[in-house]
Structure 1
Amino acid sequence: MQTATLPDTGIDPLRAVTDPDPYPYYRELATRQPFYRDDRLGLWVAAGPREVAAVLAHPDCRVRPPAQPVPPALAGTAAGDLFGRLIRMNDGAAHAPLKQILMPMLAGLDAAATARRAAAMATMIDAGAAAGTSGERVNRWLFTLPVVTVADLLGLPIAEGGKAAEVAQRVAAFAAAQSQLADAHTVRAGADAAQWLGAWLAGATPGDGPLPALHQAAHAAGIDAQAVAANIIGLLVQACEATAALAGNTLLRLGRDTPQSELPLDAVVARVAREDPPVQNTRRFLAADAQLCGHAVKAGDAVLVLLAAASCSGAAAGERPWTFGHGRHACPGDRVAQALAAATVAALRARGADPAALAQAFRYRPSLNARIPHFL
């Protein structure tokens, strides 16, 4: 069995997520130990691009442990009920019909329309913006504009009743509760948020957007209405932390590398998605004994899939960034996510945000998989 033999630099595959510069470490792993067992972490680690692709494509590598479909901390709560219905957190035939309806809908969302709607939503956010330091305002925008824009694109009445900020806050609370680092207070807040979001969605009348067609197709296919609602909320969650991270890392790139501010913003975002990706890793769980990347792995084993390490392999511009995944659970909204991040950065710069100043005072939010700047 191959074990970690790299020099001890005080970094490991989990701590790398929030390290100031984890990329030399990732490159070394991808080159020298593309697939190995880390006994200290109790995980297999896939770091090379071929190995990452093999794990993500393997039929026995599941997104959740087969005996644990919901994180134990969320089990028995509204957050756990919602989590258990998310197609991105499930494998198997039961969720295939909704996935076949939902994925084309997401792929059909237009990046240019996304940018236009984000600009309109930014004007709405201006009207209700709270005071605070520059960093606080930027952090709020990073976690608000992408979420309310996706809600608006779907046809949800996000502008009605001054609910936009609260919807975004509740989505962020539910997302935070899913983290392995979540404490009891965060889990309770996530459960409350899931319940609130479910009630808000149940009372919302969709306007122009794809939701009426989604509901109609799901009903015709006999799909449970609660599963549809959960996955609509899931789309808002996907627009939350990962897009905030992509936009925040783009601000850092612009603040540290002045010449890049002369490039088209969408090109900078695409480069950041490859070189400083928002989602640095994901996990897969073995449903059966298998041969994986030349190693015998056992049912119940977990694999940490280092998307960020695969990104260090020299992927060319224009290739799909690894951070959006590959295989069965690849995100179909990669173009929309990048458009959202660019629109968020553009809106912030138009309102006086200075990337150079922001890059001087920030930290990374505690996380085991997402690289999210928190500006001070």
Structure 2
Amino acid sequence: MDPIIAATHADPYPYYAELRAQGGLTFHHGLKLWVASSARAVCAVLAHADCRVRPLQEPIPKTIADGMAGQVFGQLMRMNDGERQRCPRSAIEPSIQLIDLDTVRALVNTRLISPDADGLYKAMFRSPVCVVAALLGFSPAQCRAISELTADFSACLSPLSNELQRAAAHVAAEQLRGYFIELLAETHGDLLKAIEQRFAGNEETLIANLIGLCSQTFEATAGLIGNALIALQRQPQWRDVPLERVLAEVQRFDPSVQNTRRFVAQTCEIDGMRVEAGDVILVLLASANRDPLLNEAPDTFLPDRPNRRSFSFGSGVHECPGQRLAMEIAGATVREILEHGVKLEQLTWHYRPSLNGRIPMFSFVGA
């Protein structure tokens, strides 16, 4: 076991507890990086001005730097610091907060869900992106296309992607860009209008971050939905509890994003440790969520948990601006899955290959 493999392990949480016991911020000689595992260390890293979201010498991964996917990546607010992060965020975050949640639920309810493995896959991965695309003003047919292209584009964001996936991601990025250029030239939804009114940058940066809004929805929301289904299978006593409470605890207890990384821009001290310029810090969000100094009885699943605290959506300037929207989409989707008669007790799963995500891929016993 190591802190990266842990993300897709059947139960990484005892291992995370061992890491916390060794110290909040420790150096892993095998991986040649620092590991922040305690709530205190994670908070310190995420708040530190010298901890950047990308290495200074490689703002765009070399594997995609020469294509359209790389051009989009380089403008994403979640992959930038400073003004390149603040400008799109200041337009997108307040606009998302104004989305009518009844509208979100209605859009989820229009999705057809079949009680089989393919139906679950589409509900987890395709439906959330379709909802976001519809909120932006795309037609139902366009939403389906946006969803499929987002899946192709998102593949390149993982270091595990292969050459064929990266080539497909460049094509998908180009096509997504075309869809958004056309949408911006037409009459579109209230959400996109609100974002446009607040946006102070150029159109290419806006388009890149609209693509980013879809890609951010793709895997993280899928994992939230899937991990909620697992929680309800394992603890059926919570099926009668309001789903909002269940989802709130799922995102703390078993988050879809297990870790993130920060890159040290200059030598500094973090949580009592000296880190050097160029060092990499693996930030174990999921481990911090289970820190008993952050949450009492952290290994117990409690939908009614008082004073719940979580790093699953990040913290500080890079905290996910779409948390409210993601939670609503996930909750409405889980509700639809249950109402369509999916038998949770028949589910089996493995985790999608990933260095940081915990996203179950379902099948049915005997299928």
Which TM-score applies when normalising by structure 2? Answer: 0.91
Please tell me whether residue 246 in structure 1 is matched to residue 246 in structure 2.
no
In the alignment, which residue of structure 2 is the partner of 1:333?
A: 322
Contact residue 77 and residue 84 of structure 2 kept, 8 A: no
Looking at structure 2, the residues matched to 50 and 352 of structure 1 have their Cα atoms a distance apart, in angstroms, of: 43
Structure 1 counterpart of 2:19: 29
Is residue 242 of structure 2 the alignment partner of residue 264 of structure 1?
yes
1:110 Cα offset (Å): 4.0
> Which of residues 170, 195, 202 is equivalent to 1:214?
195
Q: Secondary structure at the match of 1:239?
A: helix
Among 163, 167, 176, the alignment partner of 1:188 is 167
Partner of 2:155: 176
Pick the aligned partner of 2:215 from 217, 237, 261: 237
Q: Name the counterpart of 1:63.
A: 53
Secondary structure of the corresponding residue to residue 282 of structure 1: strand
Residue 31 of structure 1 and its aligned partner are, at CA, apart by 3.2
2:256 aligned partner: 278
Distance in 1 between residues matched to 2:208 and 2:187, nearest whole Å: 15
Q: Which runs of 5+ in 2 are unaligned?
A: 296-304
2: CA distance between counterparts of 1:147 and 1:317? Answer: 31
Distance of 2:321 and 2:197 partners within structure 1: 21
1:187 counterpart letter in structure 2: R
Q: How far apart are the structure 1 equivalents of 2:155 and 2:43?
A: 27
Counterparts in 2 of 1:110 and 1:51: CA distance versus 1, 3 Å: farther
CA distance in 2, matches of 1:164, 1:114: 14
Poorly superposed stretches of 4+, deviation over 4 Å: none
Identity %: 38
1:374 aligns with one of 345, 357, 361? 361
Per-residue CA shift, 1:189-211, capped at 9, x if unaligned?
A: 11111111111111123533221
Contact 1:85 1:230 in 2 (8 A): yes
**Do the aligned partners of residues 164 and 103 (structure 1) sit closer, same or farther apart at CA in structure 2, a change above 3 Å counting?**
closer
C-alpha deviation, 1:108, in angstroms: 2.8
Residue pair 1:252, 1:356 contacting (<8 A) in 2 also? no
Matching residue of 1:3: none
Bigger mean CA offset, 87-96 vs 168-177: 87-96
- Residues 256-295 of structure 1: CA distance to partner in whole angstroms, max 9, x if unpaired? 2111112111111111111011100000001111111111
2:254 maps to amino acid: D
User: Are residues 342 and 195 of structure 1, via their aligned partners in 2, closer, same or farther at CA, if it must alter by over 3 Å?
Assistant: same
Contact 1:282 1:307 (C-alpha < 8 Å) held by counterparts: yes
1:354 and 1:206, CA in 2 relative to 1: closer, same or farther beyond 3 A?
A: farther
AA matched with 1:198? R
Corresponding residue to 1:357 among 343, 346, 349: 346
Aligned-partner Cα distance in 1 for 2:139–2:4: 36
Provide the rounded CA distance (Å) in 1 between the counterparts of 2:247 and 2:139. 26
Residues 1:118 and 2:108 aligned together = yes
Evaluate the alpha carbon distance shift between residue 317 and residue 185 of structure 1 in structure 2; reply closer, same or farther with a 3 A threshold. Answer: farther
Q: Kindly indicate whether the alpha-carbon contact (under 8 Å) linking 2:7 and 2:356 is maintained by their aligned counterparts in 1.
A: yes
Q: Superposition RMSD on alpha carbons, in Å? A: 1.7
Does 2:111 correspond to 1:102?
no
> d(CA) in 1 for partners of 2:84 and 2:163?
31
> Which letter does structure 2 place at the counterpart of 1:357?
Q
Deviation at 1:349, TM superposition (A): 1.9
Distance 1:158-1:310 versus aligned 2 partners, 3 A rule: farther
Match of 1:91 among 40, 61, 81: 81
Flag structure 1 segments of 5+ consecutive residues without an equivalent.
1-10
TM score, norm. by length of structure 1 = 0.89
What is the total number of aligned residue pairs between the two structures? 350
Report the equivalent of 1:47: 37
Q: Does 1:139 align with 2:121?
A: yes
Q: Residues of 2 paired with 1:27 and 1:110: CA distance?
A: 39
